[in-house]
Amino acid sequence: MKNNNPRKTGGPPGKNKRGGSKFSMNRDPFFSNSKRRKKNVDEDIESEEEEDLDGGMSNGGGESGEEEEELAPEETAEEKRQRIAKVLVEKLRAREKELEDEEDEEGEREFEKEGERDSFVAKKLMQQQLEDSGRLRRAIASRVQKPGSVDGFEVLVKHRQSVTGVCLSDDDSKGFSASKDGMILHWDVESGKAEKYQWPNEEILRSHGTKNPEGRVTKHSRNVLALAVSTDGRYLASGGLDRHVHLWDTRTREHIQAFPGHKGPVSCLTFRQGSSELFSGSFDRSIKIWNVEDRAYMNTLFGHQSEVLTIDCLWQERVLAVARDRSMQLFKVHDESRLIFRSSTSSLECCCFIDNSEFISGSDDGNIALWGVQKKKPVYIVKNAHALSTDVNSGELKDNGRNYSGHIASWVSSVGACRGSDLAASGAGNGSVHLWTIEGAGKGIQPLHDLPLIGFVNSLAFAKSGKFLVAGVGQEPRLGRWGHNSAARNGVAIQRLKLL
């Protein structure tokens, strides 16, 4: 084969002093023609891509299109946030322009410049951010119309036994409920269509992290006492008498993990908003912190001297908890400190954050109290908030066959608040749910409306928009069987609220 390289065909290479041939990388064909060869290869590749592109376009697509899609750069987290923010701003601008056009026809308002609309959108975004963070309280209570006699609670989902916990997704479209028989339901708020979560067998539970039950118990109890859903709606947590925290995938409704560690029944659960941190309270007087993304245990909070009954958490790393030691404690996880609020007369049963600086509680003597982080005593107390009314005696209230006094019926078993607003609710066993107006600057609590509902109201959850309230109702209290109301219906009831 003829060699076309001029460096080789032009004669023998030069000699060195010893008479041998002088080696040079520049004269080597591999090194000397590297740039030229690379250029030729690049030109050949480009021509092939052009041919493939032409062929692919004529054939309706081909491998080159797939390669281009694979080579497209992936969107980073920062770019995704910017894209979502731009879409949100454009939607608000379009919405404001529609309102402007409608009101211009009526002659009420007119934007003279495009910048005025942008400033209005910026103010609206700032207000929304302040409301979501709890630094600005929304005025919703004054807009709630009094429900008519026909517009009462409606049974949305039925359970076989008393409902112990209800919670709503962040977009208020889905709801979750659990009962004493271990049934966990995932339901749609509008239609009420429910789907059941299936408990796995003992072998799968052990593979997911459960430990053998202690004492005479031979298998894990399915009695669920608490329920919580993450902010992104991906994880659902449940806890009960088996002393484990169970983690479920809401998309597939399958059991994915079990967290052991508590030495007593898990009585309450809550997620920190906007994060994967899960807090669990137990009868063993402790509060444990878990990371559901990493499936890992993080820390344990101590301080209560009796069973922890209810916990709540907002965006900050602060956990509010009440126990049967007549105290409510605010744990500052990051600072490793806590604030203690004591009730001198009764045992606190439930609590709920209103915002980062105020919260409410319910006690077994029927009182509802408003608290602030600046004072260790209640700012305002509503005494005997759930007095036993005479028109609810159609259902027999019995305890082991004996009629009991109205003390158990007026026992405040649940409280709830529309986050960042002045609207709150409380439930007991007296046959009604009370709506309350939380006045600003710790001025007090004023009654708003009474909503009839027969049974023990064991759990309450407000929609983020304040347009409805869901209640978990049962014939028995959540943590015991010391009362029974045969006229009550076990299930989830919903109250639609009409806002002005």
Q: 């894990």: which residue's tokens?
A: 220
pLDDT at 444 over 50: yes
| Strand ranges inside 143-242, DSSP E | 154-158, 163-168, 174-179, 184-188, 194-196, 224-229, 235-240
Give the model's pLDDT for residue 199: 93
Alpha helices per DSSP H over 147-217: 202-207
Give the model's pLDDT for residue 116: 66
Give the model's pLDDT for residue 304: 95
Average pLDDT over all residues of the chain: 80
In percent, how much of the chain has pLDDT > 90?
Answer: 53
Closest of 235, 207, 210, 234 to residue 222, by C-alpha: 210
Give the model's pLDDT for residue 152: 86
Question: Under 8 Å CB-to-CB from 344, ≥6 apart: which residues?
Answer: 326
Give the model's pLDDT for residue 324: 92
Tell me the pLDDT tens digit for each residue of 395-415: 444 443 334 445 566 789 999
In percent, how much of the chain has pLDDT > 70?
Answer: 71
One DSSP character per residue, 109-140 reads ---SSHHHHHHHHHHHHHHHHHHHHTSS-B--
pLDDT at 56 over 70: no
Tell me the pLDDT tens digit for each residue of 273-321: 989 999 999 999 999 999 999 999 999 999 999 999 999 999 899 999 9
pLDDT at 165 over 70: yes
Give the model's pLDDT for residue 12: 47
Tell me the pLDDT tens digit for each residue of 128-140: 666 655 567 788 9
For residues 410 and 236, give the distance between their C-alpha atoms in angstroms, rounded to a whole number: 31
Closest of 267, 206, 194, 216 to residue 477, by C-alpha: 267
**pLDDT classification of 368: cutoffs 50, 70, 90:** very high
Q: By three-state DSSP, how is residue 388 classified?
A: coil
Closest of 146, 144, 139 to residue 450, by C-alpha: 146
**pLDDT classification of 222: cutoffs 50, 70, 90:** confident
pLDDT at 100 over 70: no
Q: Which of 36-40, 67-71, 220-224, 272-276 has the highest mean pLDDT?
A: 272-276
Q: By three-state DSSP, how is residue 7 classified?
A: helix
What is the length of the chain? 500
Give the model's pLDDT for residue 129: 64
Tell me the pLDDT tens digit for each residue of 238-283: 999 999 999 999 999 999 999 999 999 999 999 999 899 999 999 9
Global pTM value: 0.74
**Rounded to 5 degrees, what are φ and ψ at 253?**
60, 40
